[in-house]
Amino acid sequence: MISVEKLYKSYGTVEAVRDLSFEVRKGEVVGFLGPNGAGKSTTLRIVAGFLGANRGRVLINGHDIVAEPFEARSCIGYMPENVPLYPELRVSEYLRFRAELKRVRRADRAEAVRRVMRNVRVEDHADVVIAKLSKGYRQRVGLADALIASPPVLVLDEPTAGLDPNQIREVRELIRGLAAEHTVLLSTHILTEVEATCDRALVIHKGRLVAQGALEELSKLRETSTTHFVVRGDAQKALDVLEAQQGASKVRKRKDSAEEVSVLDVTWKGAPEATPDKVEHAVAALVGAGIAVREASPRKASLEEVFSLLTEEDAHSDHGSDRDGEAK
C-alpha cells in the first residue's frame, strides 16, 4: 500500500530525513513515532505528494508519487498537522468544496459530504461556521476532508495534537473505526497514542528509522531491557561497576534505597536475548568488587524508557538505520 525506499530530504544543511525505508501493508494502522524534529511531518508530506524528496522513492498502491502523481495522490487522504480550513465557510459547504477540488463526481458529492460527516460525527455541526468550531471539531473536519474522496490510504499528521483528553479519546476511536476500511499511517510523538491506536510502530529519530515492529515486539524490549539490582555495600562503587558493564546504557539508583541496601536499575542496549549474559557478568563484577547481590530481576521498563533508549542509542552511534527493534 505504502512503500518508501531510501528516502532523503534536506532543508539547506538540515538533514531532515536520511535513508528512510519502510512499508505499510493493506489494512494496517501504523504509528510513525518520534520526538519533535525527528522528520515525521517531512516524511508524511513527501508520502502525500506535497513535498519533493532529494532522493528515494515512494509508491502508493504501486504508483510512484513523482512519476504518476495523479494516480498515487488519488489513493491518499492526507490530514496535515495544521488543517488549513476556510473559517468563513460552514462545515458542509467546506466539505462540498473539498469534494469538488478532489474531483468527486458532481452527482456523488452531496452523499459523500453526508457520509464523511456521519463517519466523523459532525452531522450536528453541518451548518456551523468553521471559525466557531472547537479545536476538536476542527480536527474532525480535517479528518472528514481526508476521507471525502474515499481514498484507501489515510496519512494523518499528529491527528490528536492540541486536543483535550476527551477529544483525544474520541479522535482515537474515530481512527480505530476507520481502520476497518482504510490503511492508516499516522504520526505522533506520544507513545500511548501508538498503543491506543496502532498495530505497529515505526520509530524515527533524527530522520532515521531506529526501530520498527508490532507493539508486542516493542513491548518485549520493555520486559528484557531493564534489570533491577538490590545490592548491599558501597552504593557508589556498585554504580561505578554497573556503569562500566558492556551494554549498560543507563544506571539509576532508586531514591527510596535504604542506607545499607541500594536498589539500582540498569537499562541495557542491544538485542534483548543478550540481556541474561550481561546480567550474569554484572553480578560477577559486583561480587568481585565486594558488593553483595541480594536480587537481580527483570523489570518491565515503561514504553517511554524504551523510546528514550532507542533514540539515545541512535544519538550515540549514529547508525540507527541498520538496527531495528524487533525482538528476533
Q: How far is the CB of 11 from ligand ATP (least distance, A)?
A: 3
Nearer residue to ligand ATP within complex by CB, 34 or 325: 34
Place of cell 511531518: 41
Q: Long-range contacts for 241-247 (Cβ within 8 Å, ≥24 apart)?
A: 241/282, 241/285, 241/286, 241/289, 241/291, 242/266, 242/282, 242/285, 242/286, 244/285, 245/278, 245/281, 245/282, 245/285, 246/278, 246/281, 247/274, 247/278
Place of cell 550515540: 316
Binding of ligand ATP by 16 (CB under 6 A): yes
Binding of ligand ATP by 31 (CB under 6 A): no
x/- string (CB under 6 A) for ligand ATP, residues 183-202?
------x-------------
Binding of ligand ATP by 13 (CB under 6 A): no
Q: How far is the CB of 19 from ligand ATP (least distance, A)?
A: 15
**CA dihedral in degrees (296, 297, 302, 306; nearest 10)?**
70
Region of 37-45, 62-70, 262-270, 280-288 interacting with ligand ATP (CB under 6 A): 37-45
The three three-digit cell numbers of residue 15, written as one number: 538533514
Binding of ligand ATP by 237 (CB under 6 A): no
Nearer residue to ligand ATP within complex by CB, 34 or 272: 34
Binding of ligand ATP by 210 (CB under 6 A): no
Region of 38-46, 89-97, 138-146, 208-216 interacting with ligand ATP (CB under 6 A): 38-46
The three three-digit cell numbers of residue 165, written as one number: 483528553
Binding of ligand ATP by 205 (CB under 6 A): no
Nearest-angstrom CA–CA distance, 116 and 94: 12
Q: How far is the CB of 232 from ligand ATP (least distance, A)?
A: 45
Exposed / middle / buried, residue 46 (Cβ in 10 Å: 0-12, 13-18, 19+): buried
Q: Which residues are near ligand ATP by CB under 6 A?
A: 11, 14, 16, 34, 36-42, 189
